[in-house]
Amino acid sequence: MAKRVLSGIRATGRLHLGNYLGAVKGMLELQDRSDLETLFCVVDLHATTTPYDPKTLPQNTRSVILDYLACGINPGKSALYVQSDLADLIAQLSFYFSTVETIARMQHLPTFKDKVKQHPNNVTMALLNYPLLMAADILIYKAELVPVGIDQEPHLEVAREIARKMNDTYGTKFPEPVRFATSGEYVPSLTGEGKMSKSVEGSYISLTDNLELITKKLAGAPTDSGKGEIVPPTGGVANLLKFVELFEGIEKRKMYEEKYMGEGIRYGDLKKELAEAIYKELKPIQEKRKELEHKTSYVDEVIKSGAEKARKIAQETVLEVKEKMGLVKKLRVNNQ
Ligand code: TRP
């Protein structure tokens, strides 16, 4: 049987370069492999674990679906669906998982601690359960490969742990999923600190940004005098060079590094070239997305058939878990 691949993106509106390089590129690579069955979703249930607006969530969810399609996710090859269309099964499975996971373990996750800091008045059960919901997303298809950014490694560790504990406790047969890494798995922030993030203003470039906006955002990225004995390993300059590497190649990066240690870098030129290189990659995606905005019924059909395909597999897993947990009468009568 083909190995399964599952990944999800949170419904927080438009995608940025971090999502694109760290996750979507991996998905594109995997959907072309005939030995794999790929499923990709927009995780709108996860979006409810931090403060959000129920009025705008549907648009945000739809927007990520359009981005997926514009980036090249092919519904003929991959099931593309919205997580909450399977809420009955996924939330159910995450509850079953909660019987084998401790509160202490969830409270100690770095991702949980970050969110507590960001939203101290919203430390809810849903937030604590976030990793279990993600484990359910993956394990409901017994998926073995998960193309996501490196920041998701602690969550994957939880998914593996849950798989083991479920298997040990109830005799289920969950595989232990591993992350599929891409070369752009760590996309730095334009601010010079940490990773590119939707929740940090000035840190990201959206997939929808035009050349002017990209140029403006890059202009705000911190630099230095452009010269020195060693190329700084962290901070604004290091991050800019990482972008050069990601969009213009490693050779270009090396050239700038040599310049830094020699006659010096002119950041105005570097940023102009970089902005053009980034825009060149985004332009076709933006054009495709515009087309898709008018194809309402096509997109509806994609989401519907994606959910149907996903549901067939998910139902089987949930039934199996219920049986193993003693929650349904054995379907097969054993009367020898
Ligand atoms: N936690 C992931 C993120 O923030 C989103 C996510 C939810 C996910 N469920 C998933 C990613 C399942 C991969 C697989 O990016």
For residue 28, give the amino acid letter: L
Of all protein residues, the one whose alpha carbon is nearest to atom 13 of ligand 1 is: 7
Sheet holding 178-180, edge to edge: 78-82, 36-43, 3-10, 145-147, 178-180
Residues 300 and 227 in one domain: no
Q: Residue 277: in which H helix or E strand, if any?
A: helix 267-293
Residues 56 and 93 in one domain: yes
Residues 284 and 300 in one domain: no
Mean pLDDT computed over 156-164? 98
Confidence (pLDDT) at 179: 96
Task: Check whether 336 has a pLDDT greater than 70.
Answer: no
Taking a C-beta distance cutoff of 8 angstroms, is the pair 176, 36 a contact? no
pLDDT bucket at 333, cuts 50 / 70 / 90: low
Q: Please, which residues bridge with residue 4 across strands?
A: 37
Residues 164 and 247 in one domain: no
Confidence (pLDDT) at 310: 98
Q: Report residues whose beta carbon is within 6 angstroms of any ligand 1 atom.
A: 6-8, 10, 43, 46, 134, 137-138, 146, 148, 152, 155
Mean pLDDT computed over 43-62? 96
Residues 39 and 171 in one domain: yes
Residues 285 and 300 in one domain: no
Residues 143 and 16 in one domain: yes
| Residue 333 falls inside a structural domain | no
Confidence (pLDDT) at 19: 87
Mean pLDDT computed over 70-90? 98
- Work out the number of other CB atoms within 10 angstroms of the CB of residue 24: 26
Q: Give the range of the structural domain holding residue 238, as residue numbers without chain letter.
A: 211-291
For 104-143, how does the pLDDT look when each residue is reduced to its tens digit (9 = 90+)? 999 999 999 999 999 999 999 999 999 999 999 999 999 9
Confidence (pLDDT) at 326: 96
CATH code of 27's domain: 3.40.50.620
CATH code of 270's domain: 1.10.240
Tell me how far apart the alpha carbons of residues 307 and 140 are, in angstroms, rounded to a whole number: 13
* C-alpha dihedral (189, 195, 201, 204), degrees to nearest 10: 60
Task: Check whether 197 has a pLDDT greater than 80.
Answer: yes
| Residue 334 falls inside a structural domain | no
Task: Check whether 223 has a pLDDT greater than 80.
Answer: yes
Q: How far is the CA of 93 from the centre of ligand 1 (A)?
A: 16
For 180-193, how does the pLDDT look when each residue is reduced to its tens digit (9 = 90+)? 998 778 889 999 98
| Residue 200 falls inside a structural domain | no
Residues 71 and 169 in one domain: yes
Residues 250 and 320 in one domain: no
Number of compact structural domains in the chain: 2
Of all protein residues, the one whose alpha carbon is nearest to atom 9 of ligand 1 is: 134
Residues 43 and 180 in one domain: yes
pLDDT bucket at 200, cuts 50 / 70 / 90: confident
Taking a C-beta distance cutoff of 8 angstroms, is the pair 219, 271 a contact? yes
Q: How far is the CA of 296 from the centre of ligand 1 (A)?
A: 26
Least confident of 10-19, 30-39, 159-168: 10-19
Residues 269 and 310 in one domain: no
Q: How far is CA 83 from CA 22, 26, 44, in A?
A: 20, 20, 6
Task: Check whether 331 has a pLDDT greater than 80.
Answer: no
φ, ψ of residue 6 in degrees (nearest 5): -135, 140
Residues 135 and 111 in one domain: yes
| Residue 198 falls inside a structural domain | no
Of all protein residues, the one whose alpha carbon is nearest to atom 11 of ligand 1 is: 8
| Residue 300 falls inside a structural domain | yes
pLDDT bucket at 330, cuts 50 / 70 / 90: low
For 233-253, how does the pLDDT look when each residue is reduced to its tens digit (9 = 90+)? 999 999 999 999 999 999 999
For residue 312, give the amino acid letter: K
Mean pLDDT computed over 84-96? 98
Q: What is the mean pLDDT of the chain?
A: 94
